[in-house]
Amino acid sequence: MSSAEYVLVTGATGFIGAHVVDVLLSRGLRIRGATRSPAKGKAMRDARPQHADRLDFVQIADFSEPSSLTEAVKGVDAIIHVASPFTYDTKDNEKELIIPAINGVKGILAAAAATKTVKRVVVTSSFASVLDADRKERANGVYFTYTGADWNPLTYEESVAPTTSAVIAYRGSKKFAEKAAWDFVAENKPAFDLVTLCPPMTFGPVAHPVATPAELNESNAMLWKVATGEKPLPVARVPFWIDVRDLAQAHVEALLRPEAGGKRYIPASPERFSYGRAAQIVVDHFAWSRESVVPEDQPVDESHGVDGATAAKALGLDYKTFEQTVVDLVGQAKKMEEKK
């Protein structure tokens, strides 16, 4: 589609969603943000007084409750569905991660299909729904590259098993939610088309209401741990990442470019990262960090790659450097801390 005017963004008060809102606003579109918390919606709006006439919020208390979804999709011509639980601090993975992720996608798509107006839905999936954690071993040292054709082979049973870690269960939540989206479109042939984005770890400055570094989202919290001298340094499970500003642009281009319809993209920087490299960047740029942060030469996994080039070409992305991303987030978080 190329002519969206009014876009529903779920998860609009979150790390990625708020940047998506800002890119849409900068393109002159009208946005309805969805949140469980009207207070967070108000905070997002109050922080953008110049856009008050093009930004409203709707409450979706529960994605499995069709009535609020019907209200939320009324009158919009496109949807960017970002909302999904992203936390590793869980007691019951199926209840807290997997079911809400799947219900969110199913609920939004069913509500969208019941309208005549929605022409495209973009779903924020994750590299977690692409990654096959055992593939390296099977490749026997032969280099391979992940593409948008790859799917995480996790089964639902493995994802929800009580012995499964929240990290693995989160991967399941993203796989089964994204799969539900593609299945919905194949089975129901709605009037809209679907684009899914599968970004890896996403870092960068925040645009959503965050007052202190303790409130940072899961991925940025890792960089802040590095900047505050956590020892030992965290170890990246996957060496791939993207800046949140590039990812927000990817969402908006995925929404507006007609030829993106029906595609699954992996927006990802060609540069690999490690938390050791993040520590070196912090020390190089911030004198206040030098007493506590000790950079480490962490090995970076070069055994396989990811195809971020297809998304870059199709969506017109020019990936930021890891250095810029770390400096922008850490500088911002430090200012928040000083204001406390």
Ligand X SMILES: NC(=O)c1ccc[n+]([C@@H]2O[C@H](COP(=O)([O-])OP(=O)(O)OC[C@H]3O[C@@H](n4cnc5c(N)ncnc54)[C@H](OP(=O)(O)O)[C@@H]3O)[C@@H](O)[C@H]2O)c1
List contacts with ligand X (CB under 6 A): 11, 13-17, 35-37, 40, 63, 82-86, 100, 104, 124, 126, 174, 199, 201-202, 217, 219
Tokens of 58: 């709707």
Closest contact distance (angstroms) between CB of 250 and ligand X is: 11
Q: Which CB sits closer to ligand X, 104 or 305?
A: 104
d(CA 206, CA 224): 12
- Cβ-based nearer residue to ligand X, 100 or 172: 100
* Minimum CB distance to ligand X, residue 104 (Å): 6
Q: Which is nearer to ligand X, 217 or 332 (CB)?
A: 217
HEC states along 285-316?
Answer: HCHHHCCCCCCCCCCCCCCEEECCHHHHHHHC
- Rg value, the chain, Cα: 19
- Whole-angstrom distance, CA of residue 76 vs CA of residue 94: 31
Q: Please identify, using beta-carbon distances, which residue of 63 and 275 lies nearer to ligand X.
A: 63
In whole angstroms, how close is the CB of 25 to ligand X at the nearest point? 17
**In this chain, which residue has its C-beta nearest to ligand X?**
14
In the complex, least distance from residue 213 CB atom to ligand X, rounded to whole angstroms: 14
Paired residues of 78 in beta bridges: 7, 120
Question: Are residues 242 and 202 in contact, defined by beta-carbon separation less than 8 angstroms?
Answer: yes
Nearer to ligand X, 139 or 167 (CB): 167
Least gap, CB of 333 to ligand X (angstroms): 14
70, with CB counted inside 10 A (0-12, 13-18, 19+), is: middle
- The two tokens of residue 265 are 């993209």
Identity of the residue, 77 or 96, whose beta carbon is nearer to ligand X in the bound complex: 96
Q: Give the nearer residue to ligand X in terms of CB position, either 19 or 120.
A: 19
CB nearer ligand X, residue 38 or residue 258: 38
116: alpha, beta or left? (left if phi > 0; alpha if psi -120 to 50)? alpha
Min dist CB 151 to ligand X, Å, is 15
Peptide bond into 162 cis (omega under 30): no
Cα within 13 Å of Cα(311), Cβ side? 33
Residue 290 C-beta: closest distance to ligand X, Å: 27
Task: Give dist(CA 167, CA 301) in Å, integer.
Answer: 19
Structure tokens at 236: 């990246």
Q: How far is the CB of 86 from ligand X (least distance, A)?
A: 4
**CB-CB contact of 315 with 260 (8 Å):** yes
Asked if residue 207 lies in contact with residue 22, where contact means CB atoms within 8 angstroms, the answer is: yes
